[in-house]
Amino acid sequence: MREVAAVDPLRSLAREAGSGEGEATRRLIEAVAPSVLRLARMVLGPARDDAEDVAQESLLGFVGALAGFRGECSVLHYACRITVRTAVAARKRQQEHSQQAEAYAQASFAGDDRLPAELPLAARRREIVRGLLDELPGAQAETLALRVILGCSLQEVADATGVPVNTVRSRVRLAKESLRRRIEDDPNLRELLEVAG
């Protein structure tokens, strides 16, 4: 968890916004919107142009969930968790309804033909993670996104998804198994990782 502060400056604002205070809601949204939008863009990737819509959907979900916020993490981290889940769900929806996105995801893991060779290594890794989110089952994809993109610990993922830690550990293991198969089946990707190592 990267954004946790010792004393959460947004806690009182979130309390007021949770009780329906309009001005507090606006200030809270203005405070978390940059991180939410940035996170939505990271999960969705540069190829998607619906990051603002996903960010808005995430903020609406965040405001609606303020009443159930128990203060187990910082307010900003709470908003980011909701954003990751919303963005992963948006990717899943887009994959289901768009044949083009599915073909793009398959091509990404087939041989990186669609990925520009001049892309930095980090950007290629991020794109591989996004493609993996499209292929994994919903719960595994959400767990992987929370852990890799948002940097949540196992316990934080368990709190965010409402499942035991052992369930999170099992989902992480299954996601890694899929990732390992992808790496072994793709010589270009294996070479890329060896070069990076």
Partner 1 sequence: MTRVDLHPDELLDPGRLHRLEPEERARLDNHLAGCAACAFELAAAQDFARAAEAGRPEDDPAVARVVEKTMSALGSRVGEAGPVVRRVGGMRWSRRVLLVAAILAMTAAAGAASWYFVLRPLLQRLETSRPPPATCTDAGARETDAVLQQVSPAPAPLPRRGPSALRAPPAPPVETEAPPPSLPVEAVPPPPPPHHPRNPEQVEPPPPVSPVAPGTPSESLLRANELRRGGQFAEAATLYRELQERFPGSRE
* Residue whose CB is less far from partner 1, 46 or 96: 46
Site string for partner 1, 61-80 (x = CB under 8 A): --x-----------------
Site string for partner 1, 132-171 (x = CB under 8 A): ---------------xxxxx-xx--------------x--
Counting contacts by CB under 8 A, is residue 172 touching partner 1? yes
Q: How far is the CB of 34 from partner 1 (least distance, A)?
A: 5
From 50-58, 71-79, 85-93, 104-112, span contacting partner 1 (CB under 8 A): 50-58
Instruction: Considering only residues 10 through 39, tell me which ones interact with partner 1, judged by CB under 8 A.
Output: 19-23, 25-26, 29-30, 33-34, 36-39
Per-residue CA distances from 111 to 179, 185, 191 (Å): 15, 10, 11
Candidate list 60, 103, 110, 119; residue touching partner 1; CB under 8 A: 60
**Nearest by Cα to 142 from 73, 62, 60, 152:** 152
